[in-house]
């Protein structure tokens, strides 16, 4: 079985394919742990049998050494002496073999079985029983915190609207300071390059650098595929609670993949644990061609970071919830999302100095 490597980039995205790959690695580790344990047990049984065999061999060698031929008469013949000598030497030879066998058995326990057991317990066993449980615990804790964060009501988060003018003013000042700093930095960098070029022109040595080198880095190519976790609102015909969101508050987690060229939006059902069966999840996945994408107004639903999508072959919109404001902005940018259309007088109040100046200019021109 060939396993795909576990990449840190896949770990950061925490996609279902990464979880499936991680589960395959865990399955292989469990099989390896089980097989190594079986090998260790069989080795110990083999050593016990070898020791029993060694005891029997030594007893046999002792019998050979103590073997004596009963002679008829006062002296032994040459054949009898040779037979007795050969039997005794054969017993010594067996004893030497068993002594070496005992040394081999002792070395095998120290240099083979013990490192194998240590690798099984401290290497594979730690990953399976300690690191795996810690990963599952941290994963469940993270997704529980994420769901708790996403289920916060928008009604309790409107106090920041009072500080928007101050934040806008501070942001404008910071932006101007940053722009001034960037312009000054660029000016001094160009001045430094000019001084360096003038110095090199006046120097004796020739430079291989051209004056027309474009030092501006090429812009990064934007990926045409957006993917990540999203909560989908499953609507019910019978409302259970009465709130700004009259329908039921059942939200299901999906791993969504959107291709900008084909406008195909794929939703793969997953759970908040690391044990997602990708084969079953891919069998239950839903794909459709995206028609429109609209940001959901915060006063129209009791959830944050929501937006609506409409498929080509459907008439009913689907409400989705991103993981954060930045995540929702990335989804809207990828799917060419648009802002919601407010009724007259129902839109968000905002100061429009550009529009006021245009209206004032129009009025003064018309009056003159």
- The Cα 128–Cα 26 span in angstroms is 7
Q: Kindly list the domain boundaries of the chain, sorted by start residue.
A: 8-150, 159-202, 225-334
Do residues 17 and 270 touch, judged by C-beta distance below 8 A? no
Compute the Cα dihedral for 11, 13, 18, 19 and give only its sign. Answer: positive
What's the pLDDT band for 294 if we cut at 50, 70, 90?
A: very high
pLDDT at 159: 61
H or E stretch including 103?
Answer: helix 78-108
User: Tens of pLDDT along 169-227?
Assistant: 888 999 999 999 999 988 988 888 787 776 555 543 343 444 443 444 333 344 588 88
User: Tens of pLDDT along 16-71?
Assistant: 888 888 889 999 999 999 999 999 999 999 999 999 999 999 999 998 888 887 77
Instruction: Report yes or no on whether pTM surpasses 0.75.
Output: no
Which candidate, 249, 295, 287, 293, places its Cα nearest to that of 266?
Answer: 287
Fold annotation for 225-334: PH-domain like (2.30.29)
**Residues ≥6 apart with Cβ < 8 Å to 112:** 43
268 DSSP β-pair partners: 255
**Residues ≥6 apart with Cβ < 8 Å to 198:** none
């Amino acid at each position: 079985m060939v396993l795909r490597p576990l990449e840190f980039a896949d770990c950061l995205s925490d996609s279902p394919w990464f979880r499936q790959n991680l589960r395959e690695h865990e399955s292989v580790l469990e099989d390896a742990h089980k097989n190594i344990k079986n090998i260790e047990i069989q080795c110990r049984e083999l050593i016990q049998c070898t020791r029993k065999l060694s005891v029997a061999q030594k007893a046999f060698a002792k019998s050979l050494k103590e073997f004596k031929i009963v002679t008829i008469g006062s002296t032994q013949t040459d054949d009898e002496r040779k037979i007795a000598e050969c039997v005794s030497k054969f017993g010594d030879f067996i004893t030497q073999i068993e002594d070496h066998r005992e040394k081999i058995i002792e070395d095998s326990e120290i240099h083979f079985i013990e490192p194998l057991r240590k690798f099984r317990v401290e290497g594979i066993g730690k990953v399976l029983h300690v690191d795996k449980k810690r990963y599952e615990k941290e994963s469940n804790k993270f997704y529980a915190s994420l769901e708790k964060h996403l289920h916060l009501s928008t009604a309790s988060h409107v106090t920041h609207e009072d500080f928007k003018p101050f934040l806008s003013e501070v942001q404008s000042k910071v932006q101007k300071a940053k722009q001034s700093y960037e312009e000054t930095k660029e000016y001094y960098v160009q001045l430094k390059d000019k001084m360096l070029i003038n110095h090199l022109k006046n120097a004796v040595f020739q430079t291989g650098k051209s004056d027309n080198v474009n030092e501006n880095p090429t812009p990064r190519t934007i990926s045409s595929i957006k993917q990540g976790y999203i909560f989908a609102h499953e609507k019910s015909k019978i409302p259970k609670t009465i709130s700004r969101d009259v329908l039921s508050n059942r939200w299901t987690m999906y791993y969504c993949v959107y291709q900008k060229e084909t406008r195909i939006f794929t939703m793969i059902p997953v759970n908040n644990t690391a044990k997602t069966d990708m084969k079953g999840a891919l069998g239950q996945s839903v794909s459709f061609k995206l028609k429109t994408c609209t940001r959901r107004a915060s006063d129209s639903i009791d959830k944050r970071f929501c937006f609506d999508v409409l498929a080509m072959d459907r008439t009913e919109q689907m409400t989705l919830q991103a993981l954060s404001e930045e995540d929702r902005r990335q989804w809207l940018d990828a799917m060419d999302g648009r802002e919601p259309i407010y009724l007259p007088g129902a839109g968000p109040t905002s100061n429009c100095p550009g529009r006021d100046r245009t209206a004032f200019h129009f009025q003064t021109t018309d009056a003159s």
